Amino acid sequence: NHQGVVARGELPTPLDEAGLDALLQRLTAPPLLLVLDGVTDPHNLGACLRSADAAGVDAVIAPRDRAGGLTPVVCKVASGAAETVPFVQVTNLVRTLRHLQDVHRVFVVGTSDDADTSLFAADLCGPLALVMGAEGEGMRRLTREACDRLVALPMAGQVQSLNVAVAAGVCLFEAVRQRR
């Protein structure tokens, strides 16, 4: 509902791999990164950005192809977080994860409903990238193989998985809890 007010703005410009490297080099604390593998729904992407902002994430990383980008819908759902959390679009997600591991010593933790380790048993302190899979399919095989560890969210009910935005919020705030 516009309530009689109109504003004109520009969409934030995503960073690329070089921008991510520059951002990581400026950090003084261990990075906390959110990686979204193939998340296409703009409402989920916007909600992930909003949770990332609330958790103090340093950047959200997504592939350039077969994934959502910054759109007016994403920015509206993000409620300002699209303008405050760096959004990085990369050409090759697996290559970027390997670069994070090798150059920046980032520990990559992927989420999977069939992982043996619970999210709450995993060490999420230190340089960390949390990888969330796409709606329905989860992480792609090569992304999964690039992870240092897989964790599962303990589920007590009848449903087998959570919405990616909800799961991202749970994982991010467990990392925040452990880091404090």
Task: State the pTM of this model.
Answer: 0.94
Question: How many whole angstroms separate alpha carbon 180 and alpha carbon 176?
Answer: 6
Helix, strand, coil shares of the chain as percentages rounded to 5? 40, 20, 40
Q: What confidence score (pLDDT) does residue 136 get? A: 81
**Residue 143: per-residue pLDDT:** 97
34: number of CA atoms within 13 Å, CB side? 35
Q: How far apart are CA 20 and CA 22, in angstroms?
A: 5
Alpha helices, DSSP H, located in 85-180: 93-104, 141-146, 164-179
Residue 62 tokens, joined: 């997504």
- pLDDT at position 1: 66
Q: At what angle do helices 42-55 and 164-179 cross, to 10 degrees?
A: 10
Q: What is the pLDDT along the chain (180 residues), one digit of tens a residue?
A: 668 887 777 889 999 999 999 999 999 999 999 999 999 999 999 999 999 999 999 999 999 998 999 999 999 999 999 999 999 999 999 999 999 999 999 999 999 988 999 999 999 999 999 999 987 889 999 999 999 999 999 988 888 778 999 999 999 999 999 999
Report the candidate in 70, 76, 74, 79 with the shortest Cα–Cα distance to residue 50.
79
